[in-house]
Amino acid sequence: MDLGFTEEQEMLRTTARDFLEKECPKSLVKEMAEDEKGYTPELWRKMAELGWMGLAFPEEYGGMGMSFIDLAVLLEEMGRACLPGPFFSTVVLCGFTILEAGNEEQKREFLPKIANGDLILALALTEPSARYDPASIQIKAVPKGDDYLISGTKLFVENAHIADYIICVTRTKNGASPEEGITIFLVDGGSAGISTTLLKTIAGDKQCEVIFDNVRVPKKNMLGELNKGWGVVEKLLEKATAALCAQMVGGAQAALDMSIAYAKERVQFGRPIGSFQAIQHYCANMVTDVDGSKYVTYEAAWKVSNGLPATMEVSMAKAWVSEAYRRVTLLGHQIHGSIGFCMDHDMPLYFKRAKAAEPTFGDADWHREVVAKQLGL
């Protein structure tokens, strides 16, 4: 057993932290929350030059061949920096889907471009039912000649408005079970019949409503097998959930660090507020929550990284981190007092992200039910 990171991983963390502190200051984060696109091509380009987009892709597809744990380290730092933009949707949600389900030709075509920073992608999974189960996939794809025609509405699709390609999870058949008859397509973002509307959301991330109106997709753009897409989605959700947890852990750590620093510096009654036991115990609860979040996430990420069955661990992590991140930011706000309530302050960035991440890929209740099933209940 070794619960530490390797020297290379620590180096990756330091590099990422230094880079993001310099290139992604909180002023940029706040600016991007108001910006229509939500990212700057300059920062995107610099991240690509560092090799981040292809970090966890195999070298044969233009990646660096590093592990999922390495990626988790990077995501932690992105969570700490509140990095805006399409990294998560492009690399984690779509890159891994292509890597998992794509054929050789698709992998060779798309993965090197993602790794180079030449493509932005979005995953259109959820619909107005806002659930992550197979029955929720209702949007239809109907064969027509060499193509499929997709019609229906997807919701909460991050970065669809700027995506070069949208990976769309569709229903091609009403099977005996809801899992059967789901097919995944790689859709050109510029196709006729796609209309996107940006949603205004708590964290200022760029989630969209995407209406597909008889959007034509060539058959060769099918990812994986016809009607058997749910297995791919399930695997992806496991990875994406672990990845999101890593990002949340980074945010929680940052909220904790800020709160500790403030507790040491803010003086009331002639002494730093951190000398009061009420504040000390808040801090103690926060650090315990953050450390618990880390190790429950690392365990899940380690399982994912090593290809071990991880359903239980990933759900445990998401159920825990969803609530722990929220608790940490709430106490952080309490410690900061009224100054933290100000819109210009950095604390709200973390609270908003905690609240946005809570329901993403299933909230704590959803994952507790997964755990209950895994326990044989």
Partner 1 sequence: MDFKLTPEQEALKKELDDFLREEMKNAPPGWEAGMEAMFSDEGWPFHRYMARRLSEKGWLVRPWPREYGGVDAPMIEQVIFSEVMGYHRAPGRDIFGIGMIGPTLLVAGNEEQKKEHLPPIARAERFWCQGWSEPNAGSDLASLTTRAVRDGDDYIINGQKTWTSGAHFADWSFILARTNPEEKRSRGISFFLVDMKSPGVTVRPLLGMNGTHLFNEVYYDDVRVPARNRVGEENEGWAITRATMNFERSSIETVGVVKRELEELAAFCKETKWNGKTLSQNPFVRHRLAQLAIEIDVGRALAYRTAWLQEKGGLLLSADAASAAKVYGTELAQRLAYTGYQIMGLYGQVKMGSKWAPLHGSYESSSQLCMGMNLAGGSSEVQRNMIAWFGLGLPRTI
Contacting positions for partner 1 (CB under 8 A): 1-6, 9, 69, 260, 263-264, 271-272, 274-275, 277, 279-281, 283-285, 287-288, 291-292, 295-296, 298-299, 302-303, 313, 316, 319-320, 365, 368-372, 375-377
CA distances from 320 to 1, 102, 184 (A): 23, 33, 30
Q: Kindly tell me which of 19 and 366 has the beta carbon lying closer to partner 1.
A: 366
Q: Kindly tell me which of 25 and 309 has the beta carbon lying closer to partner 1.
A: 309
Phi/psi of residue 128, nearest 5 degrees: -55, -20
Rg of the Cα atoms in the chain: 21
| Minimum distance, C-beta of residue 300 to partner 1, in the bound complex (Å) | 10
Phi/psi of residue 36, nearest 5 degrees: -65, -45
Beta bridge partner(s), residue 188:
165
* Cα–Cα distance, 295 to 303 (Å, whole number): 12
Neighbours of 284 (CB within 10 A): 11
Q: Kindly tell me which of 99 and 316 has the beta carbon lying closer to partner 1.
A: 316
* Cα–Cα distance, 156 to 102 (Å, whole number): 24
Q: Kindly tell me which of 111 and 300 has the beta carbon lying closer to partner 1.
A: 300
| Minimum distance, C-beta of residue 82 to partner 1, in the bound complex (Å) | 23
| Minimum distance, C-beta of residue 316 to partner 1, in the bound complex (Å) | 4
Q: Kindly tell me which of 226 and 312 has the beta carbon lying closer to partner 1.
A: 312
| Minimum distance, C-beta of residue 3 to partner 1, in the bound complex (Å) | 5
* Sign for the pseudo-dihedral over CA of 83, 297, 110, 166: negative
- Structure tokens belonging to residue 263: 């507790």
| Minimum distance, C-beta of residue 22 to partner 1, in the bound complex (Å) | 26
| Minimum distance, C-beta of residue 307 to partner 1, in the bound complex (Å) | 13
What is the per-residue burial (b if ≥16 Cβ within 10 Å, else e) of 285-309? ebbebbeebbebbbbbbbbbbeeee
| Minimum distance, C-beta of residue 174 to partner 1, in the bound complex (Å) | 28
Q: Kindly tell me which of 9 and 40 has the beta carbon lying closer to partner 1.
A: 9
Q: Kindly tell me which of 197 and 268 has the beta carbon lying closer to partner 1.
A: 268
SS3 168: strand
* Cα–Cα distance, 7 to 97 (Å, whole number): 30
| Minimum distance, C-beta of residue 376 to partner 1, in the bound complex (Å) | 7
- Structure tokens belonging to residue 52: 């981040």
* Cα–Cα distance, 24 to 232 (Å, whole number): 33
Q: Kindly tell me which of 186 and 237 has the beta carbon lying closer to partner 1.
A: 237
- Structure tokens belonging to residue 189: 């973002």
